[in-house]
Structure 1
Amino acid sequence: MSVSLPQSKLARLLYEQQLIDHPDSELEITQFPGGFSNLTYRLAIEGKTFVLRRPPVGAIKRGHDMGREYKVLSHLYPVFNKVPKTFYYTEDDALIGAPFYIMEEVQGIILHDEKVKNSDTSPDSFAQIAESWLTTFVELHQLDYREAGLSELGKPEGYISRQVFNWGKQYLKAATDDIPEAQQVMEWMETHQPKEVAHSLIHNDYKYNNVVFADDSWREIRAILDWEMCTLGDPLMDLGTSLGYWVTADDPVPLQMLSNSPTILPGNPSRNEIVQRYATLSGNPIRHLTFYYVYGLFKIAVIVQQIYYRYRAGYTQDARFAHLNKFTEVLFRTAWRAVQRDRIE
């Protein structure tokens, strides 16, 4: 959904924060396309560029806490070199009608499907890109979150059971269609939760279009974006979410359409290969794989359904959301099929 921002007020704010030299400089604002969650804008002024993030219209504040996201980035920046530098945050709605924060724009390439399909990216390159992506993922999970001052970010004990309960509760609140597989998946997850063995900082939305690669080398990751769901918990729950987004050419076409990801192109590893490589890099064996994958699909289904619910309730008129309920159904059916087959491919 397009939401305009006050140019002159933001230009003066940038000046007051000593980020530009003149308060009356012309500010060019461009909303980034895509994405179903927080709204993101590029602010271009005096030859510099910044990024502004704000919650979507009609969003639940707890689910789109700009202050929390700002805190995570601010604390990570000194100890983890793959996050943008932050400059300003306010919870006051007065300036733009919502809380927001401003950070640097990290220059590079985001692997959107259309851009990659029109490039000369080879299968060998995709294998190397995936290796860099996985290496960074493991680095994040092995980061000392206490050193970063993020010990109070979440309650890691009992994380799995809380997630299963909370996402199930959110789905029931947003449900619009009768999807038998939804209830089947939720009941199965209730009775198949693995025992938690590790806790770490987890991103909770780690996928290709939330990663910035260097312009001259798609094998170097410069930044991880969209930290709104970051918390402390089981890193395999994080991996499960990423597996849910890792759609391949063998998956149902509607799932490929929803993901809009280059992971369907030749050279990308399969989900099983992703798991095997993650286990090698982390040094930890991965058990209960079906549960973590099903959880990832389940969570994504709930997120998609919540967006559709907001659309149907009239909070947004974005035409992209009109048929998201069909994707919810595909995600739940894919999850239930994984349960029945006890495998992730």
Structure 2
Amino acid sequence: MTTSEVPGFTEVAPVRPGEDLDWVALERYLRDTIPGLVGEFSVLQFPNGSANLTYRVAFGDRQLVVRRPPLGQLAIGSHDMKREHRALSGLWVAYDRAPKPLAYTDDVSIVGAEFLVIEYRSGVVIWGSDTVPPVIRAMPDHGHRIGMSLIDALIDLHLVDIHHTGLINLGKPEGFLERQLRGWRRRWDAVSDVGPDHPLMEGLADRLFERVPVSPPPTVLHNDFKLDNCQFSSESPDRVISVFDWDMATVGDPLVDLGTLLNYLPDPDGQELERVAIPGLESLGLPSRQTIVERYAARTGTDVGSIHWYEAYGIWKTAVIMQQLYARYARGETSDERMGTRADRMDGVAARALDLLGGG
């Protein structure tokens, strides 16, 4: 069973209005570039993501994934298909959850932007308890097992040897946190004037700059690691088989990935404050965030004493992304109605991050 076969959930759908590409030019490019493509050409869209435009392209029974940046004005350094191709080219042989890249081009005459082509893998993406396949749902402790598989997939990524693989060249570890903070502050400044004011976001940025921790040794970073960027076997909760969306991948402080993951997870063991966790995850039975952190520390030997700072940073970064998505909707650059509500919880999540840092 794939996600598309979970009752009430659609993995792929007809292309949204306004998000069609030049399919004739794309078909011609793919047939000329990737060997062995035969059969009728067809396209469906992955409708559940929030940013990059991602399509499942088929040539007869052969399926591929095509990804390009969203339409309209893009934040500096975001939606970088060239970076994603570079990261996957180095990762897929060392980290089997990374899809194999098949092609990349910056020729914007084909579909209007640079784009990436990667292999398609069949499996399930878990967006909430209602998207867990019945086979997995019937297994004991399936939610806990999903969560432990998720953190193990992140740990295994961070254990990839960045020097042996050459992935050290994907980023600049020295001064990583300060550089990331400055970059995300620029992104916030570019969209902060769209819609209502969010003064807590300014205070949160200042507090993060004031308390930058000392980084552990660098690793490969996914930089947006979360449950719905992972794919599971349709028959087992015990292993992530694919990780998606590598367009922000780099080399730097590994606790950034852990903090980002924590920011997306509910905590069944504690008071539930405002978060960006996907609705429905709180009933999935995931392990607590403390359990996740303890697993990470035990397997990697990393000092996690500053993890609250990293979670607060993950919240701030995700809130900036929420505002970027809202701004795209407000400027009329997407027909996806979900984007119109992306910034509704901005003040609540900013307050949560300030609480993690010791109050506002």
- Give the Cα–Cα distance (whole angstroms) in 1 for the partners of residues 338 and 215 of structure 2: 38
Q: Are 1:216 and 2:232 counterparts?
A: no
Report how far residue 187 of structure 1 moved: 1.8
* Residue identity in the other structure for 2:59: I
Runs of at least 5 residues in structure 1 that lack an aligned partner in the other structure: none
Distance 1:279 1:77, change over 3 A: same
Report how far residue 319 of structure 1 moved: 1.6
Report how far residue 241 of structure 1 moved: 0.8
Q: Is the 8 A contact 1:11 1:26 kept in 2?
A: no
Report how far residue 147 of structure 1 moved: 2.3
Q: 1:27 aligns with which of 41, 45, 70?
A: 41
Report how far residue 172 of structure 1 moved: 2.2
Which is worse superposed, 27-36 or 326-335? Answer: 326-335
- Give the Cα–Cα distance (whole angstroms) in 1 for the partners of residues 291 and 224 of structure 2: 20
Report how far residue 278 of structure 1 moved: 1.0
Q: Is the 8 A contact 1:110 1:213 kept in 2?
A: yes
Q: 1:38 aligns with which of 52, 56, 67?
A: 52
**Normalising to structure 1: TM-score of the pair?**
0.90
What is the aligned partner in structure 2 of residue 303 from structure 1?
321
- Structure with bigger helix share is 1
Report how far residue 36 of structure 1 moved: 1.5
Report how far residue 27 of structure 1 moved: 1.2
What is the aligned partner in structure 2 of residue 15 from structure 1?
31
- CA RMSD across the alignment: 2.2
Q: Is the 8 A contact 2:34 2:102 kept in 1?
A: no
Q: Is the 8 A contact 1:8 1:27 kept in 2?
A: no
* Residue identity in the other structure for 1:133: L
What is the aligned partner in structure 2 of residue 292 from structure 1?
310
CA deviations 1:174-231 (Å, max 9, x no partner) are 1133223212211211211111232111101111111111122121221111001111
Secondary structure (helix, strand or coil) at the match of 1:4 reads coil
Distance 1:183 1:121, change over 3 A: farther
* Residue identity in the other structure for 1:200: T
Report how far residue 334 of structure 1 moved: 1.6
Report how far residue 60 of structure 1 moved: 4.0
CA deviations 1:318-337 (Å, max 9, x no partner) are 22112222222222122122
What is the aligned partner in structure 2 of residue 180 from structure 1?
199
- Give the Cα–Cα distance (whole angstroms) in 1 for the partners of residues 208 and 313 of structure 2: 8
What is the aligned partner in structure 1 of residue 82 from structure 2?
67
What is the aligned partner in structure 1 of residue 332 from structure 2?
314
Secondary structure (helix, strand or coil) at the match of 1:106 reads coil
Report how far residue 61 of structure 1 moved: 6.4
Secondary structure (helix, strand or coil) at the match of 1:49 reads strand
- Give the Cα–Cα distance (whole angstroms) in 1 for the partners of residues 267 and 49 of structure 2: 20
* Residue identity in the other structure for 1:331: V
Q: Is the 8 A contact 2:34 2:103 kept in 1?
A: no
Distance 1:197 1:248, change over 3 A: closer
Secondary structure (helix, strand or coil) at the match of 1:240 reads helix
- Give the Cα–Cα distance (whole angstroms) in 1 for the partners of residues 272 and 138 of structure 2: 22
- Give the Cα–Cα distance (whole angstroms) in 1 for the partners of residues 322 and 161 of structure 2: 32
Q: 1:142 aligns with which of 154, 159, 163?
A: 159
Report how far residue 4 of structure 1 moved: 1.0
* Residue identity in the other structure for 2:111: I
Q: Is the 8 A contact 2:97 2:241 kept in 1?
A: yes
Matched-pair identity in %: 32
Distance 1:132 1:21, change over 3 A: closer
Q: Are 1:94 and 2:109 counterparts?
A: yes
CA deviations 1:242-276 (Å, max 9, x no partner) are 11111246534x64xx5325531252111122111
Distance 1:266 1:53, change over 3 A: closer
Q: Is the 8 A contact 2:81 2:247 kept in 1?
A: yes
- Give the Cα–Cα distance (whole angstroms) in 2 for the partners of residues 111 and 88 of structure 1: 27
Q: Is the 8 A contact 2:99 2:118 kept in 1?
A: yes
Aligned length: 337
Distance 1:266 1:310, change over 3 A: closer
In the TM superposition, structure 1's runs of 4+ consecutive aligned residues that sit over 6 Å from their partners are none
Runs of at least 5 residues in structure 2 that lack an aligned partner in the other structure: 1-15
Q: Are 1:127 and 2:148 counterparts?
A: no
Q: 1:153 aligns with which of 166, 170, 179?
A: 170
Q: Is the 8 A contact 1:123 1:267 kept in 2?
A: no
Distance 1:21 1:296, change over 3 A: closer
